[in-house]
Amino acid sequence: MVKRLNFQPLSSFTKGRALVDDAMSRRPPRTIDLDEALDVAGMRDHHRKLMESAVDGVIEWDRFDIIDFGPIMPSIALLDSVTDEDGNQDFKYGYVGESINEIAQRPLRGLKLGDVLVGEAKEKIISEYAAALNGGHPRVSVGRVTISDLDWVQYMRFLYPVRRDGEVNRILLIMLFSL
Helix (H) or strand (E) holding 117, with range, is none
Tell me what pLDDT residue 121 has. 77
Neighbours of 114 (CB within 10 A): 20
Predicted model pTM: 0.82
Q: Are 112 and 125 in contact (CB under 8 A)?
A: no
Note the pLDDT of residue 122. 83
**Residues of the chain predicted below pLDDT 70:** 1-28, 145-153, 179
Q: How far apart are CA 34 and CA 89, in angstroms?
A: 24
Provide the residue ranges of all domains of the chain, joining segments of one domain with +: 20-178
Which residue stretches of the chain are H helix? 11-14, 34-41, 44-52, 98-104, 113-116, 122-135
Candidate CATH numbers 3.40.50.300, 3.30.60.50, 2.40.160.60, 3.30.450.20; the one for domain 20-178: 3.30.450.20
CA distance 39 to 16: 31
Tens digit of each residue's pLDDT (9 = 90 or more) over 134-162: 999 999 998 876 544 445 667 899 999 99
pLDDT of residue 12: 40
pLDDT at 153: 63
